[in-house]
Amino acid sequence: MPARSKSSQRWLKEHHSDPFVKRARAEGMRSRAVYKLEELVARDRLLRPGMTVVDLGAAPGGWSQWVRRELGDTGRVLALDILEMPPLAGVEFLHGDFREDGVLSRLESMLDGQPVDLVLSDMAPNKSGVDAVDMPRAMYLAELAMDFADRHLRPGGTFLIKLFQGVGFDDYVRDLRRRYEKVSIRKPEASRKRSPEVYALARGRRADEMNAHGREV
């Protein structure tokens, strides 16, 4: 077996000493990322019984697991990822690439015309380490997620998405502000400080903007 690089050894050491990793293991959660969502959503009390929630980029399932727990036996949680995800009770999982029209159509069929209350997107492309390649890929996924929210989020609904700061970020946030009553940019405590990721929390989907993007309300 080849020796691990110094950077991978450093990552492993940091990972195993991470308080959020330890907490996730102790509480039976699938990933440390659940505590990002917990802070972002619980702070504004965005979850209510009976909601329909779509989780894009769901694997390994931490976000869906937390949402399902918070909703109890009510509502629906639909999850999608290009990676396989072990089953979660009460979560409807679709395995596929969100960039493909056929996969999007299957997700829409699962909704069967039911409006969505909350769209979550923790999607991110595989990183090459080259910003000129990675940022366009990340923004493309973000655009697809916003387009999905445009078509399926109910008036007044909420959209929470992971973004990376860089080229295209400001324009994207500007587009969100046209579509939603309130947009906040946040970096939760569980987000590693060196990571360029932030989360945009867009609340209050505007009905007039829904009409402007071709959806009946």
Interval 143-188: pLDDT, tens: 999 999 999 999 999 999 999 999 999 999 999 999 999 999 999 8
97 annotated to bind ligand = yes
Beta bridge partners of 159: 119, 202
Cα–Cα dist 161/180, whole Å: 13
Cα–Cα dist 37/49, whole Å: 17
Q: Give the model's pLDDT for residue 202.
A: 98
Question: What separation in angstroms does the CA of 47 have from each of 9, 89, 179, 188, 197?
Answer: 39, 18, 21, 18, 23
For 26-83, the pLDDT digits (tens) are: 666 757 778 889 888 888 888 999 999 999 999 999 999 999 999 999 999 999 999 9
Q: Give the model's pLDDT for residue 27.
A: 66
- pLDDT surpassing 50 at residue 13: no
pTM value surpassing 0.75? yes
Cα–Cα dist 141/123, whole Å: 7
Establish whether the linkage from the previous residue to 60 is cis, with ω within 30° of 0. yes
Token couple for 8: 């991978």
208 annotated to bind ligand = no
18 annotated to bind ligand = no
Length of the chain: 217
Q: Give the model's pLDDT for residue 30.
A: 58
Cα–Cα dist 98/156, whole Å: 24
Residue with tokens 């829409």: 108
Token couple for 211: 């009409």
Active site residue 162: yes
Question: What's the average model confidence in pLDDT over 1-25?
Answer: 57
Residue with tokens 């329909």: 52
150 annotated to bind ligand = no
Q: Which of 127, 162, 182, 187 is catalytic?
A: 162
Residue with tokens 């990183």: 127
Specify the amino acid at residue 53. Answer: V
Specify the amino acid at residue 80. Answer: L
Q: CA geometry: angle at 186 spanning 208 and 74, to 5°? A: 65
Cα–Cα dist 49/74, whole Å: 6
- Give 119's DSSP letter: E
Q: Which CATH architecture describes the domain 32-212? A: 3-Layer(aba) Sandwich (3.40)
- pLDDT surpassing 70 at residue 1: no
Residue 75 CA, distance from chain mean position: 18
- The domain spans of the chain are 32-212
61 annotated to bind ligand = yes
Cα–Cα dist 137/154, whole Å: 27
